[in-house]
Amino acid sequence: SQIPHDLFEAIAELKQQLNAVILAHYYQEPDLQDVADYIGDSLGLSQTAANCQADVIVFLGVHFMAETAKIFNPNKQVLLPDLNAGCSLADSCPPAQFAEFKAKHPDHLVISYINCSAAIKAMSDIICTSANAVAIVNQIPKDRPIIFAPDRNLGRYVAEQTGRDLVLWQGACIVHEIFSERKLVELKQEHPHAEIIAHPECEPNVLRHADYIGSTTGLLKYVQTSSSQAFIVVTEEGVIHQMQKMAPDKLLIPAPPDNGCACNQCPHMRLNTLEKLYLAMKHRTPEVTLDESIRLAALRPMQRMLDMSK
Ligand code: 13P
Ligand code: SF4
């Protein structure tokens, strides 16, 4: 058949042939994380893409992440195994409506969470990720009003942490907004010594139970360094793969969503598979491309983010 028996070996060979680098987000399925050269949160992935030496970047994540790699690398081919791997949060902020929203607040600085399209980035002054959002807002003079888009939950959390009054775009992530507070409290009763660690895209009624809030890399580091032996992990369950590898003796319990499932996977992230990765590398498609004027406009706030995160 067209699909080789040993996909891992075939992918390794193609990687050599193409002089490709494989970048993966922590929400990818474990097999995909295992073939990656670099696994990270959105900040780490952006920094890695910005300093990439390979000829081809194979991105295991969602569309806005692959776009981010392309923003920094106009002359490299950026492959995404499934172009339909979108993001509900990025989709919750359409460019035309965002332009109207921006026009209503002409004095405001626009800080956008990286989970948005290149078109929204192009309309923004600074990009941030969940790892640096608080630090970036803290670098803005207090008298400067700020629009924060598109995630209202991260926005609310950043407003709380910085004491700033942010004008929020009302977007949300379908994965993080469906965690069940009731089930989380029940789980904590079953495991009273477990620490609750959560991603800031979660709703406030869930975040208020968290002992630690951070980006996926932040959560991973917290599990490694905390003296606790058990953690209830309130984010996409893919991150548990690396957590368990790095802290094999610790108990990691995925928090349940409110939809009857035991764990919580991002349907967009999970569209990428090992087989689609192999086919994308073999046929050098599907590829993420960007209009050059949008790319240049989006590069400016991305570069500002990297400069402000040093
Ligand atoms: P981070 O890995 O940057 O925390 O992002 C989480 C997320 O939802 C990505 O889609
Ligand atoms: Fe988008 Fe949420 Fe999926 Fe991340 S987890 S890609 S924010 S839908």
Q: What is the pLDDT of residues 226-273, one digit of tens each?
A: 999 999 999 999 999 999 999 999 999 999 999 888 779 999 999 999
Judge if 39 and 76 occupy the same domain. Answer: yes
Nearest to 295 by CA among 23, 24, 60, 73: 73
**Structural domain span for residue 21:** 7-85+269-289
Average pLDDT over residues 113-134: 98
**pLDDT score, position 1:** 57
**Is any ligand 1 atom within 6 A of the Cβ of residue 42?**
yes
Residue 260 belongs to a domain: no
What pLDDT sits at residue 83? 98
Query: What is the domain-level CATH number for residue 210?
Result: 3.40.50.10800
Q: Is 89 close to ligand 2, i.e. is its CB under 6 Å away? A: yes
CA distance 43 to 129: 6
Angle among Cα 70, 310, 298 to the nearest 5 degrees reads 30
Q: Is the pLDDT of residue 39 over 60?
A: yes
Residue 235 CA to ligand 2 centre (angstroms): 10
Q: Are 157 and 188 in the same domain?
A: no
Kindly give, in sequence order, each residue whose CB lies less than 8 Å from that of residue 121, ignoring residues fewer than 6 positions away: 71, 112, 114, 127, 297, 298, 301, 302
- 11 part of a folded domain: yes
Residues 212 and 279 in one domain: no
| Alpha carbons within 13 A on the beta-carbon side of 298 | 27
The confidence band for 68, taking pLDDT boundaries of 50, 70 and 90, is very high
Q: Is 41 in the pocket of ligand 1 (CB under 6 A)?
A: yes
Annotated binding site: 25, 42, 87, 113-115, 130, 173, 199-201, 216, 266
Report which protein residue has its CA nearest ligand 1's atom 4. 215
Which ligand does the CA of 174 lie closest to? 2
- Give the C-alpha separation, 203 to 217, whole Å: 20
Instruction: Looking at the structure, tell me whether residues 35 and 184 fall in a common domain.
Output: no
Whether residues 123 and 162 share a domain: the answer is yes
**Is 209 domain-assigned?**
yes
pTM check: above 0.80: yes
One-letter identity of residue 183:
K
Work out the angle at residue 272's Cα, subtended by the Cα atoms of residues 270 and 278, and round it to the nearest 5 degrees: 155
Q: Is the CB of 236 under 6 A from ligand 2?
A: yes
Q: Is residue 191 part of a domain?
A: yes
With respect to residue 122, please indicate whether it lies within any of the assigned structural domains. Answer: yes
Query: Which ligand 2 atom lies nearest to the CA of residue 173?
Result: 2
- Asked whether residue 64 falls in the same domain as residue 96, the answer is no
Please state, rounded to an integer, the average pLDDT across all residues of the chain.
97
Domain membership flag for residue 261 = no
Q: Average pLDDT of 100-107?
A: 98
- Per-residue burial over 134-169, b if 16 or more Cβ lie within 10 Å, else e, is bebbeebeeeeebbbbbbbbbbbbbbeebebebbbb
Task: Supply the residue whose CA is at minimum distance from atom 2 of ligand 2.
Answer: 173
Q: Which ligand is nearest to the CA of 198?
A: 1
Query: What is the ipTM score, two decimals?
Result: 0.98
Residue type, 263: C
Q: Report yes or no on 20 lying in a domain.
A: yes
Separation of CA 161 and ligand 1 centre (Å): 19
Q: What CA–CA distance (Å, rounded) separates 116 from 122?
A: 10
In 10 A of CB 308, how many CB atoms?
16
Tell me, yes or no, whether 187 and 159 share the same domain. Answer: no
Domain membership flag for residue 263? no
Same domain membership, residue 68 and residue 132: no
